[in-house]
Amino acid sequence: MSTERDRVLSIVLSEAEWQAFVARHPQPIEWLRERIRDEVQPPATRERQAARVVTAVNEELSVRNVSVQGGC
């Protein structure tokens, strides 16, 4: 018999708070789930993910710079 179980969070927000949050994060449940999972990852895993994000951003910027330079 497993002792693992799913957890449910309940957060009380005013309608104005909810609308402002959803305006910034159109998929609020997924956004919250990702933030929680980011927080519970071991530090080494977080560092590898951060390195991947930086690499992806750098690659995207390189592609944008090339396409801008090529269009001039």
What would the DSSP string read from start to end of 12-67?
---HHHHHHHHHH-SSHHHHHHHHHHHHHS-HHHHHHHHHHHHHHHHHHHHHHHHH
pTM listed for this prediction: 0.50
Q: What per-residue confidence (pLDDT) applies to 67?
A: 53
**Per residue of the chain (72 residues), what is the pLDDT tens digit?**
788 899 898 999 999 999 999 999 999 999 999 999 999 988 776 666 666 766 766 666 665 555 555 555
pLDDT value of residue 42? 83
What's the confidence (pLDDT) of residue 23?
96
The predicted pLDDT at position 62 comes to 62
